Structure 1
Amino acid sequence: MYSKFSFRSFRRVLGRVIVTRPDKLCKVRVIRMQLDGKLLRYFNKREDVWVLDRELQCKEGDIVLYQPIKNQKEHVRVPYAPWGTSREIAKILYKVGETFDPVTGRRCFGTKYADEDTINPNVNYEDDRRGYYQDDTSYLMRNQAKKVIEDYKKKDNTEKKGTPV
Structure 2
Amino acid sequence: MALQTTTKASLLLGRCVPCLKQNASKFKVKKLELDTNLLMYFGKEEYIYAFDPQKLCKTGDIVLIEELPKKMTRLITHAVKKVVYPLGDITDPMSGKKVVAGKYRDYIEAVNKVYGEKRGAFKYDEAPPRGWQEGKRDFTHRETYIKYHESGEEDPYAV
- TM-score tier, shorter chain, comes to 0.5 to 0.7
Deviation for aligned residue 1:7: 2.3
Asked if 1:87 corresponds to 2:95, the answer is: no
Offset at residue 4 of structure 1 (A): 7.0
Q: Which has the higher helix share?
A: 1
Q: CA deviation at 1:96?
A: 1.3
Matched-pair contact (CA < 8 Å) for 1:68–1:87? yes
Aligned length: 107
TM-score by length of 2: 0.56
* CA RMSD, Structure 1 to Structure 2 (Å): 3.1
Distance 1:30 1:96 in 2: 16
Cα distance in 1 for partners of 2:67, 2:32 equals 21
Deviation at 1:88, TM superposition (A): 0.4
Q: Which runs of 5+ in 2 are unaligned?
A: 91-98, 107-117, 128-159
Percent of residue pairs identical: 23
TM-score, L = length of structure 1: 0.54
Deviation per CA, 1:75-94: give whole Å up to 9, x if none: 433xxxxx221210111100
Q: Which one has the largest radius of gyration?
A: 1
Partner of 1:88, secondary structure, is strand
**Where has structure 1 moved over 4 Å in runs of 4 or more?**
none
Alignment partner, residue 27 of structure 1? 26
Alignment of 1:135-150 (within 5 A): none
In the alignment, which residue of structure 2 is the partner of 1:76?
Answer: 72
Letter in 1 for 2:75: G
Looking at structure 1, the residues matched to 80 and 67 of structure 2 have their Cα atoms a distance apart, in angstroms, of 9
Q: Which residue of 2 aligns with 1:105?
A: 105
Structure 1 residues 7 and 22, CA gap change in structure 2 (3 angstroms)? closer
What is the CA–CA distance in structure 2 between the aligned matches of 1:34 and 1:96, rounded to whole Å? Answer: 27
Q: Distance in 2 between matches of 1:6 and 1:105?
A: 34
Call closer, same or farther: CA 1:22–1:33 in 2, change over 3 Å: closer
Q: Which residue of 1 aligns with 2:50?
A: 51
- Counterparts of 2:124 and 2:29 in 1: how far apart (Å)? 37
Deviates more, 1:96-105 or 1:43-52: 96-105
Q: Summarize the Cα distance change of 1:122–1:36 in structure 2 as closer, same or farther, 3 Å threshold.
A: same
SS at match of 2:31: strand
Answering whether residue 126 of structure 2 is matched by residue 131 of structure 1, we say: yes
CA offset at residue 122 of structure 1? 3.2
Structure 2 Cα separation of the partners of residues 129 and 85 of structure 1: 37
Measure the CA separation in 2 of the matches of 1:42 and 1:26: 28
